[in-house]
A = this chain, B = another copy of it.
Amino acid sequence: MNEYGEFGVIGKSVPKKDGKVKATGEAKFGADITLPRMLYGKLLRNGQHPHARISGIDTSRAEKLKGVRAVVTGKDFPGILYGNFAHTRDYLPLAIDRVRYIGEEVAAVAADDEDTAQEAISLIRVEYEPLAAVFDPEEAMKDGAPLLYDNKPHNISSSSNFGFGETEGGFRESDWVREETFKTQNIKHGMIEPHASVGLWEAEKITLWACKQSPYIVWRQMAMALGIPPSKVRIVQTYVGAGNSGGKQEALPMDLCAVMLSKKTGRPVRFVHTMEDVLTIGHMRHSYKINLKLGLKKDGSLQAVQIRAIADGGAHSSIGQLSIFLLGMFSLAAYRIPNFKYDVFRIYTNKQWPGALRGHCGPQARFAFEALMDMAADDLGLDHFDIRKKNALHPGDVTPNGFKITTCNLTEALDKVKEVSGWDSKKGKLPKNRGIGLAVSAFPTGSNIMGHTACSAMLKVQEDGTVALQTGATDVGQGCDTVLPMIAAEVLGIQAEDVSFAMIDTDVTPVDPGTWGSRVTFYGGNAVKIAAMDARNQIAEVAADLLEAKESDLVFHNRRIYIKGNPDRGMDLEKAIRHCQNKLGRPIMGRGTYNAPADTVEFSVGKGNVAPTYSFYAQTAEVEVDPETGKFDILSVVTAHDGGRELNPMLVEGQLVGSFVMHQGQATFEGIERLDGQVLNPNFLDYKMVSSADLPDNLSFNSVGVPDPEGPFGAKEAGEGASAPALASIANAVSDAIGVRIKSLPITPDKILEALKEKG
């Protein structure tokens, strides 16, 4: 920042730093890692039994195949259950005596080449004794239903049950009360980089090179599953393909098999998932049945909210305890809600398991909530904007569960989308079969839930005036490889190109929660800012001496340090660094750690300020339905967002577009299809996603944010949050167009035609 408060880097659309290496092909993704003497691994999956006992595994024919170096089964591991939270540990590296879903890993092979490994897999004989399976969560909760885990009655994988205020009283005092049930489906991340990892077991260290978005989660889980201290494990992050969006958080069977096969062979072993693997095994979005009851006064003010939700948990817990908790949190944000009751259950079924996915249950929560808000407005004769403004959160609000709202331009966002979308000229005035829908949402900036939350950064300012930055943050396409360097650059008066961004190596880089929950720019950015300020102060002390000035009068700008008001009295940063390092023996290293002023919130209590700040979104969607085919087009989408200051508007817009479009898919046609627990569409021909041809003609994003006082240079969550209103705005628009409410996703032509038929 110069002496006039003008930023040198912040706020500029600096191209993403990895553009060049990704364009040249130099960027090494998971499957690109090749080590000398490396073997190729393949997994044997349970191919047909949704639930079965394993009575025997015969690997002898596979072991005898020429070129096969080792075979492992579940018994090669210590048999320790691992997972995310103490009460939800239910993963094993390989199934031992039971399989619980089709696709579950049963054995693995390492061979000289992939074909041999694949052939060896086909030679392994597993004897299964089928068990009764259960696919519907509500069925699974009933007495007498088959249990997936003997110690989990009613197949409850996890739950959250809490309330604030007097919901019953709230409903009694309401003029309008309605309860509706909404259903959402499983969708996949649709990542185009498959999971890939290379394992190497050595005397002193077990190393995994892998495309992981949260290397330290994998670090802990691998140590847990192997029964060793985490410091014996080293995770080296490769480039992570964009679009993993929550799908590369955890240690997978392939990771643990890679290191165990390496232990057996003394050689590195690489696994790469096929797209069928990616699309059948876990880490999809939770499907929900959400029973939502709202109570409002005639003036539109919310009096009470009651939610009972059931999530289909599939065969494993994954991070699902957090997911179901967040559904409640997303229901609590955006509006002033005096009374709130929440009961959610995550139920085991004999299916592939869900976990985190972009938006992480915000979209589903808003899909239900915003539908009922429209119904209330319509029934009470209120304008869709007015009812939302009536209830909208404002700066200074504290929600009953404890969210402290600091910066909040939700009202401004509503005004903005109303204006830009031309709502007044459209709502109720559109031609037949066209409709416009509105939704709002809020999004926490990070969340203090998963144990360790702080971020750290280390940087060294080098003798050529550049910075080598180390953080715990992983770029997964979202742009922290560029934004975190921008923050360091701004503080030190250099450019983003002057700052290198280290990939994660758990032996070296700072411990970090990982990339999830829209936390990186805020937490990691603040850590980087503190580290850069630390370095700047060290330099300024010396430069002030050399320039005969006060430290507080120094400006760091344009790779120079000069005296405020006197740009000629200055020196190159490079020269100052050389002086510090070579003359004074003070190499410049900055260090920063940041933890947000937020509460650690317990899943069972739900009370507390989960994030240091929140972002707010308002969104309209306009659709046109073809009553003959039941298809609909999304004509335009207008979003206004308060995401604080946009540190790099181009990267923010990229995230906003991606977040919307991913949910356009969920709203319109995407979804995992199954028959008796078998995925029917495990490839990108049958599993269709939104492509560029499907994009709305008009996607308009409008920032109404103001700098957040706690965020680094005023940033807060900006990007992922655009996922939260997307299902709701589209569904509300369709409802407006056809006059019927479709309460389950996706809104397929069949459902529209049936609704139109029922309507007559």
Chain A: residues with CB nearer than 8 A to chain B? 20-21, 24, 26, 34, 36, 202-204, 223, 229-231, 451-454, 456, 458, 460, 462-464, 466, 468, 470, 498, 500, 502, 505, 507-511, 581-587, 589, 591, 593, 595-596, 600
Contacts and interface: CB of A to CB of B under 8 A. Distances in A.
B203 A20 contact: yes
B452 A203 contact: no
A593 B582 contact: no
Contact of A587 (B202, B468, B511): B511
A21 B510 contact: no
A511 B230 contact: no
A698 to B, nearest CB: 36
A68 B148 CA distance: 61
A466 B229 contact: yes
B24 A203 contact: yes
Contact of A203 (B26, B453, B510, B587): B26
Nearest to A470: B508
B231 A581 contact: no
Q: Which 7 A-B pairs have CB atoms at the shortest separation, nearest pair first?
A: A585-B595, A454-B585, A229-B464, A231-B466, A34-B36, A451-B582, A452-B582
Given A468-B508, A593-B587, A231 B500 contact: yes
A586 B581 contact: no
B24 A460 contact: no
Contacts of A507: 468, 500, 502
Determine the main DSSP class of A at the interface with B: loop
A613 B509 CA distance: 34
B589 A510 contact: yes
Contacts of A468: 231, 507-508
A583 B452 CA distance: 7
A365 to B, nearest CB: 27
Contact of A511 (B231, B463, B470): B463
A214 to B, nearest CB: 15
A596 B596 CA distance: 38
Given A468-B508, A582-B452, A589-B456, A462 B231 contact: yes
A385 B608 CA distance: 79
A366 to B, nearest CB: 30
Given A460-B510, A464-B229, A508-B508, A591 B589 contact: yes
Contacts of A595: 584-586
Contacts of A511: 460, 462-463, 581, 587
Contacts of A24: 202-203
Contacts of A510: 460, 587, 589
Given A24-B202, A508-B502, A456 B591 contact: no
